[in-house]
Each structure stands twice: as structure tokens, then as C-alpha cells.
Chain A
Amino acid sequence: DSGVTQTPKHLITATGQRVTLRCSPRSGDLSVYWYQQSLDQGLQFLIHYYNGEERAKGNILERFSAQQFPDLHSELNLSSLELGDSALYFCASSGGWRGSDTQYFGPGTRLTVL
């Protein structure tokens, strides 16, 4: 158990809909990272928040957005969903913001868009 929690575990929705994925980092960690894992794209870095501020952006679509709240939990919002958005979404947390920090991964949320 990494100490990172993600809800829900599974999500099934229809095209065009909007969903919110939630992540609670390990106690004391200030950074939250979001990743998308799919068979054809592999593990893609989406976005990184540190202590409530956006720190780095990766291959995140404009239909996707994220935020980190004062209690440090984070939410990833996916809108106007398409079939291709079906994937496993991971969040990870770390104590600092540097690329040298070990990231601790949650169990993931499996999103299925029908």
C-alpha cells in the first residue's frame, strides 16, 4: 500500500459526458502527478501540482483539467469524453517538486467510455 488513494476504482460512462477523478496523496506529500496509461500510448504524464500550484504540464488535452485543493487532494476533470479517453488514470505523490523525488503511485482509476 503506497498511501495514495484514488476514487473511484472503476468508472463507466458515455461519450460526451464529464467525469471527475479524485486523488489523495500520502500524508505530508505536497506534489500530485496525474498520468494516463493506455495500450497504445503507454504511460503519459498529464500534469503536476505542487502545494496547490500547477508545476508542470505534459500531454494534457484541453478537455482535461485538474486542480489541487488546500487539503492537498487533487481532482482530474475530463469533459466531452471520447472513446479514446478510455484508459487507466494514475495519480502519484511525492514530498517535493523535483524530478529527483520518488513518486508513490495510487492503484488507478479505470475509465471506460462507451
Chain B
Amino acid sequence: NAGVTQTPKFRVLKTGQSMTLLCAQDMNHEYMYWYRQDPGMGLRLIHYSVGEGTTAKGEVPDGYNVSRLKKQNFLLGLESAAPSQTSVYFCASSYSTSMTSGSETQYFGPGTRLLVL
């Protein structure tokens, strides 16, 4: 049971390049999330998904796209990277939003450090 994994761990991009970050979870969780973490800003939600085939915008969605073609995978894409997207990206997953199940706790991946030059 690997939990939540992220690929790659570190990447350097030039402005304008594109890339995809992969998040995978083996806990059969319904919900998946992408956050970015910047100094002094805490974690800000980029996009999230409440199930396979669905996605929704979070707090800072501009410049990013996501896809959830399979329940266990949540992809974050940068079509044209900008220096402002230099950050640490965290993926998380949770079982459900049910307030009675107690299973809404988010579990995080190890993070991806992205540097855009």
C-alpha cells in the first residue's frame, strides 16, 4: 500500500514549456486534490475531483488543467509554464465527503518541486 504517490519529485522548466504532474493513489479514494504551496501562503487549492471523470476549480485554477480519467489517477497539466508557477505541488486524496463516515481526512503525497526559469 503506497498511499499517495507523485511523479516527478523535482522538475525544472523553461518559460513556455508544458508538463504534466501525475498523482496516483491506491486507497480507492473518491476525492483527489491538487494544491500548491508557496512561502507564507500555506496551501492553496488549484483543482479537485469528486470522482472519476469529474473535475472542479479550486482557489487558484488559472494556468492549470486537470484530468481524472481513472479513479486512482489525477493529472495536473501546465500548458505554458510561467515563473509564477514555481512552487511545491501537493496531491491529496480522501475517501468521501460523508460527514458521518469520518473518512474525509486528506492524505498527501510527498510533493513535487517545480522551478520555472
Physical interaction between A and B: no
Which residues does B use to contact A, with CB under 8 Å? none
Residues of A in contact with B (beta carbons under 8 Å apart): none
